[in-house]
Amino acid sequence: MTRILSLLMICFVALAACTDSVATIGADGRPLPSVYKIRGNPEKLQFRMLDSVNALRQASGLQQVQLNSQLNAAAETHSKDMARQNRPWHFGSDGSSPLDRATRVGYFGTFLGEAISETYETETETLAAWMQEPGPRAVIMDPKATQMGFAWHQENGGKIWWTLEMGTGG
């Protein structure tokens, strides 16, 4: 019996040695996450985020929101601008505020707020992180919200700049 177990253990070790995947270890001794690469139809990603936001809102008894093309455009502009500036913050390189950007793209509803992020993670991981922070959580869960804009910009190195906008219809 011991010989069989030893033989099985040797086989498992040999099979494990055949793999070519090597985890990169960070300074903390834990494996580094792999870079999430956005591929395919961007509308699908927007609708996945919309569905996730609406599931969170519904669980809290809040009304669902709809994607708004003007808020999507404002979010896309800001995601690209944050990448150019290489910093996640709410002001554009031209000094514009989130409200300024929404107005520029023709949004006539009431602008409620913006959530931003700089990460290598998926949209759902980013949403989970936003929900842990009081400011972004308040924006996403604003009871007055009826519309949402969502966009991103991914750099060649994999870093993703996410922007989510919330507003009410106008």
Q: How many other CB atoms sit within 10 Å of the CB of residue 137? A: 14
Q: How many CB atoms lie within 10 A of CB 150?
A: 27
Q: How confident is the model at residue 17, as a pLDDT?
A: 43
At residue 63, the 3 state secondary structure works out as coil
Is the pLDDT confidence value at 157 over 90? no
Residue 50 in tokens: 């919309």
Q: Alpha helices, DSSP H only, in the chain?
A: 2-18, 42-59, 69-85, 98-104, 123-132, 134-140
With 0-12 CB in 10 A as exposed, 13-18 as middle and 19+ as buried, what is 44? exposed
Interval 73-82: pLDDT, tens: 999 999 999 9
pLDDT above 50: residue 46: yes
More confident residue, 1 or 90: 90
Which of the four pLDDT bands, split at 50, 70 and 90, describes residue 47?
A: very high
Q: What is the model's pLDDT at position 91? A: 86
Question: What are the residue boundaries of the structural domains of the chain, listed by start?
Answer: 42-168
CATH architecture group of domain 42-168: 3-Layer(aba) Sandwich (3.40)
Q: Mean pLDDT across the chain, nearest whole number?
A: 85
- At 166 the three-state DSSP class reads strand
pLDDT interval class at 40 (50, 70, 90): low
User: Over the stretch 67-115, which tens digit does the pLDDT of each residue have?
Assistant: 999 999 999 999 999 999 988 889 888 989 999 999 999 999 999 999 9
What is the average per-residue pLDDT within 158-166?
A: 95
- 38 vs 164, residue with greater confidence: 164
* pTM score, whole prediction: 0.78
- Identity of the amino acid at 128: A
